A = this chain, B = another copy of it.
């Protein structure tokens, strides 16, 4: 669809506001820029984009270049009642950058891409300080000059920003080894309409509640993260990825639990269930001979695991031995480095594949949760069943297809990451998706699991926050919001509904 065909309302931003903002930051109002900031990467966003719907696009895109510039923008918007949607890499899959006006007449996208520096590095203490708009590939190349890495590799790696990671409590594919972003945040600077918050004294403190952890995952509703000091790691000299196959999912879960509890994890640990394994082997073109071999060895309905170790060569060898010993004791068969390398090559390709499938009339989305080891099998089945029932085609066409993997290990449990596909109902795409999403989310909270392990809340999970933290928990979040953003301009409709 050409840009001219996209539906877009004229900007509602009064000239007087635009002039004030232009005095403190770059302001863009052209059609292409507004349309490009009209959403993120959720299924709803993608469908809207494909149907040429950018009606609700921001009235302007504002690009600050410093903490002070952000502060000035917030002051102007708070004074004049303009909603502000922070925008980092734009990769939210839960409606985190959706331009929801919530009663405000005008709304701007606060695009942080100009704030893209690494402002400090302390290689001795493994600390680095970033501005929020810095995207991961450039952050990694800046860190590489000092022999360092952040080690944060979500599927959104190519686009996502440092600020976005912290604001959404992100986890990457190697977070079992390198840590979730909330474990990496050592200090944080936040610009709010009520003033600045500067929090965190590395390496650790017992000085009261950890206010950093109130800002991590705050998704732009309390303030704009303008700087953050993250724990970084020495760049690995060696990386080794391998595949293994288990007889079944139960066996794999047992092995993964032992890895986590015996401190024998790899840095990347990923276990596919039977359905995802079947899809992986089919897509990777496993030869009939290999398939027969696996069947004869008793792994015909097995579950694939990808393991990756990174570090100094000696450490990689030592840690790999510990991991492999547990895997073999529990029944796994080693498949060598080839499938591991294939996974590594394609680790960021999921989002592109999703676009291709949409082109072919397929509903495809992902969602995730986590559960303690004692309940992970029950949660796994319950949520998958809810998705299958919700997506069953009354017309009788085959599918839906629901598959899952475990990809973040903790001593106490693991994450569950679902991919689900069905024939899209033309013209009813969003309703069809919404039914599946509601069914899965209800099943998750009914099972006592979390509504999100690393995708965050955004607009799409906000309705389940009451189940997550209770009415009083929501009220605590609202009390903080009221103190920091009394006019309520920051990212309306996300995280906590009024």
Let me know if A204 is at the binding interface, CB within 8 A: yes
> Do A208 and B457 contact each other (CB < 8 Å), given the known contacts A126-B261, A372-B202, A468-B201?
yes
- The CA-CA distance from A432 to B258 in the complex, in Å, is 54
> Do A415 and B208 contact each other (CB < 8 Å), given the known contacts A213-B213, A261-B234, A374-B124?
no
Task: Give the contact stretch, choosing among A10-18, A331-339, A469-477.
Answer: A469-477
B468 touching A208, Cβ below 8 Å: yes
B126 touching A412, Cβ below 8 Å: yes
Q: A465: which of B202, B208, B471 is its contact (CB, 8 Å)?
A: B208
A207 touching B470, Cβ below 8 Å: no
Let me know if A171 is at the binding interface, CB within 8 A: yes
Contacting B at CB under 8 A, from A217-264, are 217-219, 222, 231, 233-234, 257, 261-263
B124 touching A205, Cβ below 8 Å: no
Let me know if A449 is at the binding interface, CB within 8 A: yes
How many copies of the chain does the oligomer comprise? 2
A197 touching B476, Cβ below 8 Å: yes
Let me know if A410 is at the binding interface, CB within 8 A: yes
What's the minimum C-beta distance from A481 to chain B, rounded to whole angstroms?
A: 9
A197 touching B472, Cβ below 8 Å: yes
What's the minimum C-beta distance from A377 to chain B, rounded to whole angstroms?
A: 11
What's the minimum C-beta distance from A328 to chain B, rounded to whole angstroms?
A: 16
Nearest CB in chain B to that of A319: its residue: B263
B197 touching A210, Cβ below 8 Å: no
For residue A475, which residues in chain B have a CB less than 8 angstroms away from its CB?
Answer: 194, 483
Q: Which 7 A-B pairs have the closest CB atoms?
A: A203-B413, A203-B410, A213-B213, A125-B372, A205-B450, A201-B450, A169-B206
Cross-chain pairs A/B with CB under 8 angstroms, 19 sampled: A124-B372, A125-B373, A169-B205, A194-B472, A201-B370, A201-B468, A202-B372, A204-B450, A205-B451, A206-B456, A207-B465, A208-B465, A208-B468, A208-B495, A209-B214, A209-B217, A209-B477, A210-B213, A214-B214
